[in-house]
Amino acid sequence: MTDLREAPEAVDGFDAARSPLTGTDSRGRVAELRAIQESALAGPSEQATEAQHAKGKLTARERIALLLDDGSFNEVEPLRRHRATGFGLEAKKPYSDGVITGWGAVHGRTVFVYAHDFRIFGGALGEAHAQKIHKIMDMAISAGAPLISLNDGAGARIQEGVTALAGYGGIFQRNTRASGVIPQISVMLGPCAGGAAYSPALTDFVFMVRETSQMFITGPDVVQAVTGEKISQNGLGGADVHSEVSGVSHFAYDDERTCLEEVRFLLSMLPQNNRETAPIEPTEDPVERRCEALLDLVPADGNRPYDMRKVIEEIADDGQFMEIHERWATNVIVALTRLDGQVVGIVANQPQSLAGVLDIHASEKAARFVQMCDAFNIPLITLLDVPGFLPGVDQEHGGIIRHGAKLLYAYCNATVPRISLVLRKAYGGAYIVMDSRSVGTDLAYAWPTNEIAVMGAEGAANVIFRRQINAAEDPEAMRVQMVKQYKDELMHPYYAAERGLVDDVIDPAATRTVLIRALHMLRTKHADLPARKHGNPPQ
């Protein structure tokens, strides 16, 4: 929260009294209007702008100009002023009240945006400020277009008391109402503390900029006072912390320009709302292109690691994809890409990290992504190479059952086209959870290197043939023999296909072609869920 008495530079250049009308005819009134508009566009003062730039930050209008197509911005309520009195507020009534709202276009498609202007009241939220945000959110929901917030504010405006604080409730309520209806993107470009941090947490994607943006419920001073722990703002809630440790942030960048350019790229892969599909982008990458490199990328030995990103790159149009939560829960990959121009969501185990096992964070990460794709009509492709769930006391006590069930629920509840592909191993409950045939995937494929089983052959043989192994003259030789027998009978690549659990075993080089043809067939898929108010997913 911000005390305006601590930030006088944020409101320099404003007088309490509105200038008297001076125009005597229409031309005079228009000239007067232009003068007022120019004053509103200029902001509080050159000094305030210089102070913003000195912090390595752009102004709100500069950010909007980078985000939107040139000349497309239409501002709403640029002349809005607060009506508060007391604590000196009656003497400071700047135009816009510290937030710029309106609509424009990104790649020619309508989006709505609001941007905090830190130069005015430190971007703090007051009653009029909140009402402007409420209005633009309502417009976005009614128009069925994405909403982007450019956050750079210091919390509720203390001088307006609980009236200002209540403004956040209206934002949270609208975030929730818009969830799964329109894409919501939060771009953190400055501080976001206290209750204000919950709005980004309710949106679909959170972008952050290193060094200049922070998010936390209680700041470093409060943390130190209560717990004795001393920590910096970035150490507590900076971009790297939230993109690597907490998982609050989906993306982190070094500068604002790159960050906003990536927001534009993400928007190009999302539909306008839940009643539309993402735009199809023509590609010259052939549908029939064979991916021979896959034969060498993925070792047949299930114990050898490899980078699943290279597999995604090989099958994607022109090798392009956008990874989400790249640095959090790295044992699973979630990404948006295109196949023959159609946007698809990829969920894949990453053998380079923890051998690709599922754990608490990976389950949460994948579940949220599956829900997002399902909400916005984006087909799902799941690439499996999973040895199971991560064992351990901390995982069990941390609720791996509950968190793993989130991913299971997300897949079972999804009605978009779903295709699964087993590259190598797929063991136990992790195989079932990762969109297997039994939980409703539309098409299930496997490579000839697949091993689909309850558990690895060594563990299975030790359980099933324990007595024979212990009674043998040479237990180790007997163990090797029993492992081979188990593999030959239950873990050969065609066992699942013979029982209808896999639709086909395919040549890895044909993966791109097979997936695209399946997606074309599934484009008209229609599935209804049971009539209900909403489900009660595991939390």
Residues with a catalytic annotation lie at 194-195, 429-430
In this structure, the number of other CB atoms found within 10 A of the CB of residue 496 comes to 25
Alpha-carbon dihedral 384, 387, 390, 391, rounded to 10 degrees: 160
- How far is residue 199's CA from residue 192's CA, in Å, rounded to a whole number? 10
Name residue 189's amino acid.
Answer: L
Cα 95 to the center of its chain, rounded Å? 33
Structure tokens at 54: 């000195």
**Residue 33: HSE in the Cβ half-sphere, 13 Å Cα cutoff:** 8
In this structure, the number of other CB atoms found within 10 A of the CB of residue 7 comes to 19
Structure tokens at 230: 């001393």
- Per the CB < 8 A criterion, the answer to whether 171 and 137 are in contact is yes
Alpha-carbon dihedral 314, 316, 321, 327, rounded to 10 degrees: -50
Report in angstroms the alpha-carbon separations of 376 from 183, 264, 271, 303, 531: 8, 17, 7, 37, 20
- Per the CB < 8 A criterion, the answer to whether 107 and 264 are in contact is yes
Helix (H) or strand (E) holding 184: strand 184-188
Structure tokens at 245: 């440790």
E runs forming strands in 117-171? 147-151
- How far is residue 362's CA from residue 387's CA, in Å, rounded to a whole number? 14
- How far is residue 348's CA from residue 359's CA, in Å, rounded to a whole number? 14
DSSP 446-466: E-TT-EEESS-HHHHHHHHTH
* Burial environment of residue 202 by CB neighbours within 10 A (0 to 12, 13 to 18, 19 or more): middle
- How far is residue 496's CA from residue 194's CA, in Å, rounded to a whole number? 52
- How far is residue 389's CA from residue 401's CA, in Å, rounded to a whole number? 10
- Per the CB < 8 A criterion, the answer to whether 115 and 260 are in contact is no
- How far is residue 421's CA from residue 456's CA, in Å, rounded to a whole number? 19
